[in-house]
A = this chain, B = another copy of it.
């Protein structure tokens, strides 16, 4: 259909040149991913720096604002989500949608960030959201067209449902999956 319109999420944060600087940059990114995933987007930046074994000044040099750091983590995962959507195109309609949602659930940092930011109108969040919707909507519409997904809900409904469920507290991964599958049963046609 469309001519391979992969959305490009440009993040204007570059890995530094010097070896030591690159090490710190990567350590910060890893610590941030972890922190945002467990504590949410409001995680303490000083704690992230500490966790990365780096001074707070170094964090701010690489990522002048919290948003910059968040973007570096978040945009990366959204990008992967877009790629996952392309790969899923070959599967049958329902499996394609399902596998993409699995990927969605897989990104710990992303799911929390998405959940907490669904109603935030930051420019960067809007961009990321747009990219994600562009990637996922076709899968959903295909499932609908194939009569596998009900047509009285929107992709937005679905995504909020899934992200709400993924962000909720469960006793273990098995319960999370169980609940998720039940909810998705509600999305199937008939």
Contact = CB atoms under 8 A, between A and B. Distances in A.
Interface of A: 115-116, 118-119, 150, 153, 156-157, 160-161, 163-165, 167-171, 175, 178-179, 181-187
Interface of A is mostly: helix
B178 A153 contact: yes
17 contacts: A153-B178, A156-B171, A156-B175, A157-B175, A157-B178, A157-B179, A157-B182, A160-B179, A161-B165, A161-B179, A163-B168, A164-B165, A164-B169, A164-B179, A181-B186, A183-B183, A185-B185
Contacts of A116: 169
Q: How many copies does the complex hold?
A: 2
A168 to B, nearest CB: 3
B182 A186 contact: yes
Contacts of A165: 161, 164-165, 168
A156 B169 CA distance: 11
